[in-house]
Structure 1
């Protein structure tokens, strides 16, 4: 199981990132979406300074990618799928 966390706001870049991510993931992926406007402490606790940020929580090591996630091939490599 791959565990991901996507940090977003309500802007178009975040919406594109979520749409692009959903186009790549399947049932092997557990996705948590954190709206940093509603839960800023989660982003602060995890050192997130740019939005959107995708964090792969497991399998380790933790890794992050920032942006709209528009390159599906690179996104698959990042996820290991």
Structure 2
């Protein structure tokens, strides 16, 4: 757990005195936590990256087809209801 794990009702770290941190101390803590999280990042392999890219592109194409079909249907319906 990090220094800011909120397990008590006051939102402070558990088992420590409830002391206020200074402005720069909070910024330094944030930067340390960001760097720690960035250290956990795993870069995908080339094969995974290609697979992810193809998956996203396929999803976008499918969503474009669905939106196009709905647009056509609603346009046709509006034309039928209100006349052309």
The structure with more helix, counted as a fraction of residues:
2
TM-score (norm 2): 0.20
Q: Write 1 or 2 for the structure with the bigger share of strand.
A: 1
More relative contact order in 1 or in 2 (CA 8 Å, sep 6+)?
A: 1
Under a length normalisation based on structure 1, what TM-score does the superposition of the two structures give? 0.21
